[in-house]
């Protein structure tokens, strides 16, 4: 970087100024307060704008409403013109309201932050110095001499932190701090995950118990099915015997009908007998089809309906709960997507207004993506659970509908059965009256006795039929009860299968978490044992190398400025140690010229080391020295010629009140202040 021209308007003590800077060494000369430092501050403002903590009134000329600075530069062969303007607001505050930059004739108006980024890019400052660009400028180009003395006299820990900051070594401290944060997060994650798997042994016990119950119920179902097959076979055999008995009873009915007809013919003229016989015959026709009804069956069906309705209600409640969780997970997923989009599109942090790095965005984005994937897995699992519940709800509804049909059929049979019993009572009543009537008919006794004898042979068949019928009903009841037990056991078996699957999935998930814990602990061990040790070793090595090189260069510059009996070096805290024949001298007891020599040597060494370590910096061709010879003896002033000769800079700007220095420089710009600062004259070689 070469400074070519500077234009000022209402900057500090200057109303208007245009000054050209030639290549080589240039001395800014003038009395105290003539405006020498104002030019240096204007250069810094043109390049980097107002710095944090710097107020606009330190640049704006007193009593003026606006100020402007224009700086022409050559950087890497490019012709650069930078313009900045300050303006006082009605509230009294002073802000930068206008910035332009021209690169090889291409003019562009930019914001303050864009201007800063462009200048940093042109000067090829490392990216990690984006927030401290003026720091590099301060210690490579322009540092007030008193400012360097302050650094030398600072507390060792403050000076060491500053050196770390200048050379970017503080990044190791940040790495260690960030590593500790990461370790804390890992420990928290491990603790959370350990809590998540603490019930894994209990789950395994539950799984083992459920498998045992499943095997037990499976055996019970097999035994019940065997018993059911046996009962059905018995029902089949009894049903065949009942069919044979029913044929005999049907034959008996035919004889009864014949007997009744005979009795009707004999007593046809007896209206009472005829009426009774007709009533008996009609009643018997009504009960030819026997109705089988047992009130226990109706009670059992009602009980099953109540049970399955309760199950259906529980399933509906579970369905609503699962649906609620699905809506909750959907909302979480949507919020995570919004957060991810918000962070991805964010340019500056809303809290500190600083730029958000791509690495930070990626980190937050990946973390949010992991959360989205976790939520999606929970959603998938809940959707599967929802479908399973819907299947069970349909099954329960079908069972309830079937049992309702059974209930309706049983209630109809109950009505028929009660009606049949009324008719049977009536038949018995009419038969008793008929028997009394038949006793009065003596001429029919013989025929009735004959028919009765014929009917006697059917008595055993009827008894056998009734016994078989009773046995059939008992076996049928036992068969139905067994079928119900089989259905219940199968349902219980299905629930156990589902429970075993769920427990297996939960155990597998916890085993997965256990693997994650192992990985996290391995990472934690690597970070604590290896990574931090490596960072500490690297930091120590880098700092030691820097101190060694810095100390060597510092001593070289110092040796040019003082007598041969004095030597200089830097201790572990980069504190200058001055030695006179193996005897260390306290900095406070050095002469004024020697203290200035220490500060100047420190300044030049710092400049040289920074430029050598950051070889791409475009500011290495220029250096500004502000009153570098305060307190120098004549002999020390003579040595400044050697200093200028050894400085590897194309352009040197020098502020000094020493007249002898004028003989060492190529150009002299004399400044004078009479109310306002101005250029008195310029001498060029």
Query: 199-231: per-residue pLDDT in tens?
Result: 778 878 888 888 888 888 888 888 888 888 888
pLDDT in tens, 362-401: 787 788 888 888 888 988 898 898 899 899 999 988 988 9
In the chain, the percentage of residues whose pLDDT exceeds 90 is 18
Residue 447: pLDDT over 90:
no
For 587-597, what is the mean pLDDT?
Answer: 85
The answer to whether the beta carbons of residues 391 and 303 sit under 8 Å apart is: no
Q: How many CA atoms lie within 13 A of 405 on its CB side?
A: 5
What are the φ/ψ torsions at residue 81 (nearest 5 degrees)? -130, 120
Residue appearing with tokens 């930068």: 96
Q: ∠ CA 417-420-424 to the nearest 5 degrees? A: 140
For residues 519 and 525, give the distance between their C-alpha atoms in angstroms, rounded to a whole number.
10
What are the φ/ψ torsions at residue 574 (nearest 5 degrees)? 65, 25
DSSP state of 239: H
In the chain, the percentage of residues whose pLDDT exceeds 70 is 92
For residues 564 and 581, give the distance between their C-alpha atoms in angstroms, rounded to a whole number.
10
For residue 351, what pLDDT is reported?
Answer: 67
For residue 611, what pLDDT is reported?
Answer: 84
What are the percentages of helix, strand and coil residues in the chain, rounded to 5? 70, 15, 15
For residues 487 and 300, give the distance between their C-alpha atoms in angstroms, rounded to a whole number.
14
Residue 268: pLDDT over 70:
no
For residues 104 and 77, give the distance between their C-alpha atoms in angstroms, rounded to a whole number.
9
Strand 142-144's sheet: what is its strand order? Answer: 142-144, 622-626, 651-655, 24-30, 667-674, 676-684
User: pLDDT tier at 538 (50, 70, 90 boundaries)?
Assistant: very high
For residue 20, what pLDDT is reported?
Answer: 92
For residues 232 and 478, give the distance between their C-alpha atoms in angstroms, rounded to a whole number.
10
Least reliable range by pLDDT among 93-102, 128-137, 256-265: 128-137
For residue 396, CA distances in Å to 311, 315, 481 come to 7, 9, 19
For 399-413, what is the mean pLDDT?
Answer: 85
Locate the domains of the chain by residue range.
2-154+586-684, 293-430
What are the φ/ψ torsions at residue 109 (nearest 5 degrees)? -90, 130
For residue 637, what pLDDT is reported?
Answer: 87
- Three-state SS string over 29-65 comes to EECCCCCHHHHHHHHHHHHHCCCCCCCHHHCECCCCC
Query: Which residue(s) pair with 383 in the sheet?
Result: none
Q: Which one, of 684, 676, 615, 565, lies nearest residue 9 by Cα? A: 676
Residue 644: pLDDT over 90:
no
The answer to whether the beta carbons of residues 95 and 59 sit under 8 Å apart is: no
Residue 426: pLDDT over 60:
yes
Query: Which residue(s) pair with 622 in the sheet?
Result: 651
For 445-452, what is the mean pLDDT?
Answer: 71
Cβ neighbors of 365 (< 8 A, separation 6 or more) are 340, 343, 344
For 342-352, what is the mean pLDDT?
Answer: 70
Q: Give the CA radius of gyration of the chain.
A: 55
Burial of 408 per CB tally in 10 Å (0-12, 13-18, 19+):
exposed
Q: Which one, of 557, 633, 576, lies nearest residue 149 by Cα? A: 576
For residue 353, what pLDDT is reported?
Answer: 62
Residue appearing with tokens 């075993």: 500
Residue appearing with tokens 């009908």: 257
DSSP state of 95: E
For 342-371, what is the mean pLDDT?
Answer: 74
DSSP state of 627: S
For residues 56 and 89, give the distance between their C-alpha atoms in angstroms, rounded to a whole number.
11
For 649, the 3-state DSSP assignment is coil
For 506-513, what is the mean pLDDT?
Answer: 86
**Alpha helix stretches (DSSP H) within 77-199:** 112-123, 133-140, 145-153, 156-166, 170-197
For residue 109, what pLDDT is reported?
Answer: 92
For residue 459, what pLDDT is reported?
Answer: 67
Q: How many CB atoms lie within 10 A of CB 157?
A: 9
Q: How many CB atoms lie within 10 A of CB 538?
A: 13
The answer to whether the beta carbons of residues 61 and 12 sit under 8 Å apart is: yes
The answer to whether the beta carbons of residues 96 and 76 sit under 8 Å apart is: no
Q: Which one, of 601, 542, 656, 649, lies nearest residue 175 by Cα? A: 542
**Alpha helix stretches (DSSP H) within 267-357:** 271-286, 295-345
- Quote the mean pLDDT of the chain: 84
Residue appearing with tokens 């900057």: 11
For residues 81 and 103, give the distance between their C-alpha atoms in angstroms, rounded to a whole number.
7
* Torsion sign over Cα 591, 593, 597, 599: positive
Whats the size of the chain, residue-wise? 685
pLDDT in tens, 154-189: 898 888 888 888 887 888 888 999 999 999 999 999
pLDDT higher for 170 or 446? 170
Question: Per CATH, which fold does 2-154+586-684 belong to?
Answer: Rossmann fold (3.40.50)
For 433, the 3-state DSSP assignment is helix
For residue 443, what pLDDT is reported?
Answer: 64
Residue appearing with tokens 């059911």: 228
For residue 14, CA distances in Å to 64, 66, 84, 203, 682 come to 11, 13, 16, 84, 17
For residues 422 and 385, give the distance between their C-alpha atoms in angstroms, rounded to a whole number.
56
Most confident of 134-143, 311-320, 348-357, 607-616: 311-320
Find how far residue 506's CA is from the centre of its chain. 21
Catalogue the long-range contacts made by 412-420 (C-beta closer than 8 Å, 24 or more residues apart). Answer: 413/291, 413/292, 413/293, 414/293, 414/295, 414/298, 416/291, 416/293, 417/291, 417/293, 420/286, 420/287, 420/290, 420/291
Residue 461: pLDDT over 80:
no
The answer to whether the beta carbons of residues 668 and 27 sit under 8 Å apart is: yes
Q: 2-154+586-684 and 293-430: same fold? A: no
The answer to whether the beta carbons of residues 630 and 656 sit under 8 Å apart is: no
For residue 404, what pLDDT is reported?
Answer: 87
For residues 76 and 619, give the distance between their C-alpha atoms in angstroms, rounded to a whole number.
10
pLDDT in tens, 106-126: 999 999 888 888 988 898 887
For residue 526, CA distances in Å to 53, 179, 559 come to 42, 11, 48
pLDDT in tens, 488-505: 888 988 888 888 888 888
What is the architecture, at CATH level 2, of domain 293-430?
Answer: Orthogonal Bundle (1.10)
Name the helix (H) or strand (E) containing 653.
strand 651-655
For residue 145, what pLDDT is reported?
Answer: 59
pLDDT in tens, 15-72: 899 999 999 999 998 888 888 888 988 998 898 888 777 788 788 888 888 899 999 9
Residue 101: pLDDT over 90:
yes
């Amino acid at each position: 970087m070469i400074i070519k021209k500077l234009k000022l308007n209402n900057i500090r003590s200057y109303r208007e100024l245009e000054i050209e800077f030639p290549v080589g060494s240039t001395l800014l000369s003038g009395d105290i307060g003539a405006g020498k430092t104002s030019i240096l501050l204007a250069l810094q403002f043109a390049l980097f704008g107002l710095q944090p903590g710097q107020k606009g009134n330190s640049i704006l000329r007193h009593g003026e409403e606006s100020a402007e600075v224009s700086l022409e530069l050559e950087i890497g062969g490019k012709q650069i013109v930078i313009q900045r303007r300050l303006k006082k607001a009605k509230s009294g505050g002073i802000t930068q309201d206008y910035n332009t930059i021209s690169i090889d004739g291409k003019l562009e108006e930019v914001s303050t932050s864009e201007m800063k980024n462009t200048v940093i890019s042109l000067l090829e400052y490392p990216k990690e110095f984006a927030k401290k660009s003026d720091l590099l400028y301060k210690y490579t180009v322009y540092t007030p001499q008193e400012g360097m003395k302050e650094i030398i006299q600072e507390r060792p820990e403050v000076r060491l932190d500053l050196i770390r900051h200048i050379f970017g070594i503080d990044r190791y401290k940040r790495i260690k701090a960030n590593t500790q944060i990461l370790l804390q997060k890992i420990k928290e994650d491990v603790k959370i995950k350990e809590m998540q798997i603490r019930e894994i042994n209990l789950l395994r016990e539950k799984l083992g118990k459920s498998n045992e119950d499943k095997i037990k119920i499976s055996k019970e179902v097999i035994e019940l099915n065997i018993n059911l097959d046996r009962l059905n076979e018995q029902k089949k055999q009894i049903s065949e015997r009942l069919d044979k008995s029913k044929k005999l009873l049907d034959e008996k009915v035919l004889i009864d009908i014949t007997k009744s007809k005979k009795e009707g013919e004999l007593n046809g003229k007896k209206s009472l007998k005829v009426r009774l016989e007709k009533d008996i015959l009609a009643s018997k026709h009504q009960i030819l089809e026997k109705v089988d009804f047992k009130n226990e069956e109706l009670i059992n069906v009602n009980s099953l309906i109540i049970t399955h309705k309760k199950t259906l209600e529980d399933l509906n409640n579970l369905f609503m709960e699962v649906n609620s969780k699905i809506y909750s997970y959907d909302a979480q997923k949507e919020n995570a997507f919004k957060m991810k989009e918000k962070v991805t599109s964010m340019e500056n942090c809303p809290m500190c207004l600083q730029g958000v790095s791509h690495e930070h965005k990626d980190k937050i984005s990946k973390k949010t993506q992991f959360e989205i994937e976790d939520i999606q897995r929970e959603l998938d699992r809940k959707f599967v659970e929802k479908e399973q519940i819907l299947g069970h709800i349909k099954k329960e509804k079908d069972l309830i509908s079937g049992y309702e049909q059974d209930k309706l059929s049983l209630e109809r049979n109950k009505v028929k059965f009660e009606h049949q019993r009324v008719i049977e009572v009536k038949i018995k009543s009419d038969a008793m009256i008929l028997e009394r009537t038949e006793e009065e008919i003596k001429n029919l006794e013989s025929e009735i006795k004959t028919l009765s004898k014929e009917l006697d042979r059917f008595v055993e068949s009827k008894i056998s039929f009734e016994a078989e019928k009773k046995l059939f009903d008992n076996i049928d009841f036992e068969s139905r009860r067994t079928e119900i037990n089989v259905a219940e056991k199968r349902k219980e078996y299905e629930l156990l299968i589902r429970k075993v699957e769920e427990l297996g999935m939960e155990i597998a998930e916890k085993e997965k978490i256990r693997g994650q814990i192992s990985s996290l602990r391995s990472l934690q061990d690597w970070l604590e044992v290896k990574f931090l040790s490596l960072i500490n070793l690297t930091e120590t090595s880098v700092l030691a190398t820097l101190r060694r090189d810095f100390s060597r260069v510092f001593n070289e510059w110092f040796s040019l400025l003082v007598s041969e009996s004095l030597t200089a070096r830097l201790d572990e805290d980069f504190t200058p140690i001055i030695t006179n024949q193996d005897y260390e001298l306290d900095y406070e007891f050095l002469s004024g010229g020697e203290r200035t020599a220490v500060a100047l040597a420190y300044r030049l060494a710092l400049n040289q080391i920074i430029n050598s370590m950051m070889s791409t910096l475009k500011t290495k061709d220029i250096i500004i020295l502000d009153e570098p010879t305060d307190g120098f003896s004549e002999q020390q002033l003579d040595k400044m010629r050697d200093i200028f000769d050894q400085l590897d800079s194309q352009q040197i700007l020098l502020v000094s009140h020493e007249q002898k220095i004028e003989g060492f420089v190529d150009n002299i710009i004399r400044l004078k202040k009479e109310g306002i600062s101005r250029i008195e004259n310029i001498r060029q070689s």
